[in-house]
Amino acid sequence: MIALEVSSAAGVPPFGGIGGCIRSIVSELLEHDPTTRYLLCARWSRWRRGNLFDPHKPNASTRAIQDPFNRLLLRDARLLHSMGAYLPRTPKITKLVTVHDLNAVRNPHWCSPEWHRKRSARFSQVLGLADHVITPSQFMADEVADQYGFPNDRIHPILHGVDTERFKPADVATKRRLRGIHGEYVLSIGLLTPRKNFVSLVRAMVELQDLRLVLVGRPSDGSTALSAEIQRLRMQERVTHLCGLSEPELIDLMGAATAVAVPSLYEGFGLTALEALACAVPVICSKSASLPEVVGDAALLVDAKRPEEIAEAIRRATHDSELSRQLAARGRARAESMPWADSARTHRDLYHRLAPQAAP
């Protein structure tokens, strides 16, 4: 039996971010490894709040876990993989943890001192207990090795994937409807935090008078500065901020966009970029952190600290029809080459290599 700690996948729709990634990997894992029993675990503090992740598959069951009782609760498990930032001390079996990103540890200037302190302490504790680490990119593998001195031969980069049945090109009617509301627009998605670098994107849009900007994301610690910059540049009429969209609404908005911009300065993976590629929309993407690994040659890479470089890439992607067509085709092909099933199979192979006695 293999135990997966999936507390971060609990909650209610829409399932994005880390929780959505966990759900996608586990769902494919159960499909592609039917002879192995998987125990989907949640720490007790999350379990009692309900809305747990339970895919209702014959080779999966759920359980609450809590130190120091896991020697009993996980007595049949041969391997424990924490898919979030929590790893119990017990039982004494092979332990893996996925480190999705280290933003709060590596970039204290983008978070509060309290959050930096808490996340630094959490990751130090978790990595002190882990035998192996999984990361969603080689960039994150290098970050873990550099920050904690974790041995490279025990760090396993496994790229995420995308569901190209859900994320797909928009039809003509959807494009007509949404462009009738927003005009020709550039879309950018993410929590309104400084590292997402939306201020640079707004500055880039100033000279692109024929395009509007649609931002989708929950307000956060970067909201005030972003609003101030929009007002300073007199961009209020050309910038629309949306939040609370359902997944189908977000996919339609992405597919109908003239282009998608991903100006983030730090990502552990960058799922939004891959989802936009799947929608066959031209993507203008920061060349920082993990993002070049994700998009390959299917997007226009820019120094996202330079608004003029972002602006020129958006202009090329939206005004050169042949380039736009090429980017759309390369983007869709890139996305189709990265299904969630590949990520799940790589996880499965790693589990059975580290704990061959874990199945069935």
Cis peptide before 14 (omega within 30 of 0): yes
Q: Which residues of 144-160 are buried (b: 16+ CB within 10 A; e: fewer)?
A: bbebbebeeeebbbbbb
Query: What is the DSSP code (8-state) at residue 237?
Result: T
At CA 161, angle to CA 191 and CA 332, rounded to 5?
A: 95
Largest distance between two CA atoms of the chain: 64
Position 359 scores a pLDDT of 54
Query: Which residue is it, tokens 């880390």?
Result: 18
Task: Look up the pTM and report it.
Answer: 0.94
172-336: what fold?
Rossmann fold (3.40.50)
CB 162, CB 338: distance < 8 Å: yes
Q: Is 149 helix (H, G, I), strand (E, B) or coil?
A: coil
pLDDT of res. 13: 81
Whether 155 and 177 have beta carbons less than 8 Å apart is answered as no
pLDDT given at position 360: 54
Classify residue 193 by burial, with Cβ atoms within 10 Å: 0-12, 13-18, 19+. Answer: buried
Kind and range of the H or E element at 2? strand 2-5
d(CA 205, CA 313): 11
Helix locations, 39-197, DSSP H? 44-47, 70-73, 103-106, 113-129, 138-148, 172-182
Distance CA 266, CA 111 (A): 13
For residue 95, which of 359, 360, 273, 351 has the smallest C-alpha distance? 351
- The dihedral formed by the CA atoms of 100, 104, 107 and 113, expressed in degrees to the nearest 10: 180
Cα distance between the two ends of the chain: 6
In which residue are the tokens 């050309």 written? Answer: 238
CB 280 within 8 A of CB 207: no
CATH 3.40.50.2000 domain position(s) in the chain: 2-161+339-358, 172-336
Identify the pLDDT of residue 16.
Answer: 80
Q: How many other CB atoms are found less than 10 A from the CB of residue 98?
A: 25
What does the block give as tokens for 329?
């085709």
Question: What are φ and ψ of residue 344, in 5° steps?
Answer: -65, -45
Nearest to 106 by CA among 61, 147, 60, 161: 147
Helix (H) or strand (E) holding 327: helix 321-336
* Of residues 40, 145, 140, the one with CA closest to residue 98: 140
Range 2-161+339-358 has CATH code 3.40.50.2000 = yes
Q: Tens-digit pLDDT profile for the chain (360 aa)?
A: 999 999 999 988 878 889 999 999 999 999 999 999 999 999 999 999 999 999 999 999 999 999 999 999 999 999 999 999 899 999 999 999 999 999 999 999 999 999 999 999 999 999 999 999 999 999 999 999 999 999 999 999 999 999 999 999 999 999 999 999 999 999 999 999 999 999 999 999 999 999 999 999 999 999 999 999 999 999 999 999 999 999 999 999 999 999 999 999 999 999 999 999 999 999 999 999 999 999 999 999 999 999 999 999 999 999 999 999 999 999 999 999 999 999 999 999 999 999 886 555
